[in-house]
Amino acid sequence: MIFGIESTYPSNGKLTNGYRLFDWVMRKQDVPRFWLRGITGEYGVTREEMAFLKANGCRTALVLNGLTERIVSQNGAVPEAQRALEALRRLRVPSFSEIALFVRFAPNWSMNHNWMLSFAYTLCENGYIPGFIGNTDSSKRFCFDRECGHYKHASEADSRFGALFGATEPESDAPPESWTPFCPSDFTQSDMSLWETGGRVVCGDVCANVVYVRDEAICKHFL
């Protein structure tokens, strides 16, 4: 397993304690090998931040932020996929590079596998890899489990569009000893690429979330 971080706040941003967030994570946890960052909005990742991460031996994993439950429960994702492509071009993320772009579904959201398929198809047409992170504890919320299954069966002829899947359960404050994330019913644990364990690194109002990826093969889809 490979240790990483997800945050809304920039990794190179200064904290109230005088540390940069990246340095504070190293002090409190470990050296992150990758960092999930949103690609749009006020705190969206910049080319300067990506260069900072690269200089510190850390890859940038990209997330499409700014989504809502209403959006992801629709049948088509073309507007959101086009917005994502425009943001990737602004960041100069090369097309046909198999770089991943993740969508994170909030734990209580309903989503539509047709939206997921539309998003994945549009990304793949431009040489990117789709990723989906959602609530993988079906006892709490079954929708992600069900829609992932529909997505898998509907896209088998297209090899799932190469999609990566991320788990949010089970939660653990301590680093897990083995790769045991919960997974949708039609998947196995080895199908899961990321695992957000619920661990936190906090300073004031800034929170960085602990994430693991399964192995080095996943990291090749990060910048």
Q: What is the pLDDT of residue 88?
A: 96
Nearest to 10 by CA among 34, 44, 33: 44
Rounded distance, CA 171 to CA 88, Å?
31
Instruction: Please check whether residue 192 is in contact with residue 204, taking contact to mean a CB–CB distance below 8 angstroms.
Output: no
The yes-or-no verdict on residue 42 having pLDDT over 90 is: no
150: part of which helix (H) or strand (E)?
A: helix 143-154
Give the CATH number for residue 107. 3.20.20.80
pLDDT digits (tens, 9 = 90+) for 91-119: 999 999 999 999 999 999 999 999 999 99
- Can you give the length of the chain in residues? 223
Q: Taking every pair of C-alpha atoms in the chain, what is the biggest distance, in angstroms?
A: 52
Q: Domain tally for the chain? A: 1
Q: Determine whether 32 is exposed, middle or buried from the number of CB atoms within 10 Å of its CB (0-12, 13-18, 19+).
A: buried
Specify the amino acid at residue 134. G
173, pLDDT greater than 90: no
Q: Is the separation of the CB atoms in 151 and 117 below 8 Å?
A: yes
Domain ranges, residue 36: 2-219
Q: Pairing state of beta strands 100-104 and 164-167?
A: unpaired
User: How many Å apart are CA 112 and CA 147, to the nearest integer?
Assistant: 6
**How much is the pTM?**
0.93
Q: What percent of the chain has pLDDT over 90?
A: 86
Query: Could you give the CA distance from residue 126 to residue 85 in angstroms, rounded to a whole number?
Result: 8
